[in-house]
A = this chain, B = another copy of it.
Amino acid sequence: MHSLEFTAESSADGMTERDFTVGEVPGVLWSPASGADGAPLVLMGHGGGNHKKHPAMSGRARRLVTGCGFHVAVIDAPGHGDRPRTAYDEQEIAVMQQAMAAGEPVGPVVVRYNAHLAERAVPEWRATLDALQELPEIGTGGSVGWFGLNMGTAIGVPLVAVEPRINAAVFGLHWPDALAEQAKRITVPIEFDLQWDDEHIPREAGLALFDAFASSEKTLHVNAGRHKELPRFEVDSAVRFLARHLSRTALCQA
């Protein structure tokens, strides 16, 4: 087992940002500047082509850290951010770009490539969670959540399916093909986002993935709009959902 090594630290506006590695995997841990011992931890999965410190990640982290007092961790997915691409990564990315340039459906290659990335990422996430829980300010007593859309759902669904330490999850914006069977093993509360006019993911596909979760508490949020037009207020909603399920006090300023 690799332990977590901090490689950089900075602080601004009540939030501390610490870069870390667990083995060869680079990550970032955002925490309240003070008084977060034993606070809930939210693991966030970034989208395809992005990385651990994309503004969508740091923005959501700020809401959870300064609004709720939670810890938030993100790692670079395989082939993303500071991590090298394999020959297979390069090949699949080329196929994806060709499909986009030709105006052909990207679903089949995204589904296939994301399933491949998830196989590599799930053990990395479990090792990262092991290492994070070794930190005295996190420990093993607090609740753990998952928040990841798009590729963050492709990795998050198989992770939550096998990881009993995760107590609630926000998913969305993905096809069911490689995920529905694993979703059937998930019973923790979930919130799921779907875009009604998604040009990539058919409505029936998104609804089928939501339907697959075995969770007795599950909520689907559908909004009018295309794939990238998820309204900003859905982040507020995700933060409230995580606060409701992870915190006994849930006093988020969200």
Contact = CB atoms under 8 A, between A and B. Distances in A.
Q: Is the interface of A mostly helix, strand, loop or mixed?
A: mixed
A34 interface: no
Given A233-B244, A244-B233, A222 B223 contact: no
Contacts of A237: 237
Contact of A221 (B211, B215, B219, B233): B219
Identical chains in the assembly: 2
Given A215-B224, A221-B221, 6 more contacts: A217-B224, A219-B221, A219-B231, A220-B220, A221-B222, A222-B222
B216 A219 contact: no
A222 B210 contact: yes
Given A233-B244, A244-B233, A219 B222 contact: yes
A231 B216 CA distance: 12
A196 interface: yes
A196 B224 contact: no
Nearest to A214: B224
A196 B220 contact: yes
A67 to B, nearest CB: 15
Contacts of A207: 207
A18 interface: no
Nearest to A218: B224
Which has the most chain B C-beta neighbours within 10 Å: A207, A216, A219, A233? Answer: A219
Contacts of A217: 224
A219 B215 contact: no
A173 B24 CA distance: 51
Minimum-distance CB pairs A-B, first 3: A220-B222, A218-B224, A219-B223
20 contacts: A196-B218, A196-B220, A207-B207, A215-B224, A216-B224, A217-B224, A218-B223, A218-B224, A219-B221, A219-B222, A219-B223, A219-B224, A219-B231, A220-B220, A220-B221, A220-B222, A220-B223, A222-B222, A233-B244, A237-B237
Interface string A18-39: 0000000000000000000000
Contacts of A210: 222
